[in-house]
Amino acid sequence: MGEMSDTGRLVLLGAPLGNSADASARFREVLATADVVAAEDTRRLTRLARDLDVTVPGRIISYFEGNEERRTPELVDVLAAGYLVALVTDGGMPSVSDPGYRLVRAALDAGVPVTAAPGPSAVTTALALSGLPSDRFCFEGFLPRTPAARRSRLRALAAEARTLVLFEAPHRIGAALADLAAAFGPDRPAALCRELTKTYEEVVRRPLGELARWAAEEEPRGEITLVVGGAPEVAAERPDDDTLRAAVAAREAAGLTRRDAITEVAAEFGLRRREVYTVVHA
């Protein structure tokens, strides 16, 4: 390893999703200067460095789901000793549905500076290519693997108004899309993005019902990111005056002051407090 500094530093490297040309200049610089490179797949990192014509002088160690609990304290010791550690996963930003969160948390708890050389992200790339609203979105990562747990999660998400971004494994995508269509309705717009930035990149934009049928026939392979439109917002009807008075009276009977009862009822029905006050005192 290189010469120690007073304080070590952890750098999270945003790795290319597939096209090595997407690696940033900082990505190359950190690879070429880090004392230790913790990689999700050391062979994949070695191939990427070769494609980038970058020599990695530091020690390369594996850091993946199966060993991150054991490796994290070892890497924190290296950081505490003053060395530069780079963390890289197979694609995208570490800790986003990839190894890394545990190490980031441990480094911060040890008082070690953490920074990033940001790069490609399957989440935002798929969102931008989907053609669906991107001003507000929610990332759900991988859905539960078992059908019952997956359907339960989707029922909870059915009313989410923000665009959803999901990861899914190829062998589960057909079942996941069928469950999505059942939970969200077959007409909900969606986009299946596969092999982003790679030679066979494909974005299929169809309603969930059609997309589920397409996936059953085509059996898509490769890295898949799914983008699903949010639930349409339904304007609630304003309750009539008698309903508002009854709601306030029920809360008063339960022990609330009239002021607090009016405040609660206004919040429940999305009304201004003054409007409920006027109705109650009419």
Query: pLDDT 10s per residue in the chain (282 long)?
Result: 544 456 799 999 999 999 999 999 999 999 999 999 999 999 999 999 999 999 999 999 999 999 999 999 999 999 999 999 999 999 999 998 889 999 999 999 999 999 999 999 999 999 999 999 999 999 999 999 999 999 999 999 999 999 999 999 999 999 999 999 999 999 999 999 999 999 999 999 999 999 999 999 999 999 999 999 999 876 557 889 999 999 999 999 988 899 999 988 888 888 888 999 999 998
The letter for the amino acid at 112 is V
Strands 163-168 and 9-13: unpaired
Distance CA 203, CA 200 (A): 10
The pair of structure tokens assigned to 209 is 């019902």
How far from 86 is each of 29, 170, 237, CA to CA, in Å? Answer: 11, 30, 55
What the chain holds in terms of domains, given with CATH numbers, is 9-120 (3.40.1010.10), 123-228 (3.30.950.10), 241-280 (no CATH)
Angle between helices 170-184 and 208-218 (to 10 degrees): 160
Q: How remote is the C-alpha of 39 from its chain's centroid?
A: 21
The whole-angstrom separation of Cα 43 and Cα 62 is 9
Q: What sign for the dihedral angle of Cα 264, 270, 271, 276?
A: negative
Nearest 5°: phi and psi at 123?
Answer: -60, -60
Residue 63: C-alpha distances to residues 67, 156, 196, 210 (Å): 6, 33, 24, 39
DSSP string over 117-178: E----HHHHHHHHH-S--SSEEEEEEPPSSHHHHHHHHHHHTT--SEEEEEE-HHHHHHHHH
Rounded to whole angstroms, how far apart are CA atoms 37 and 57? Answer: 9
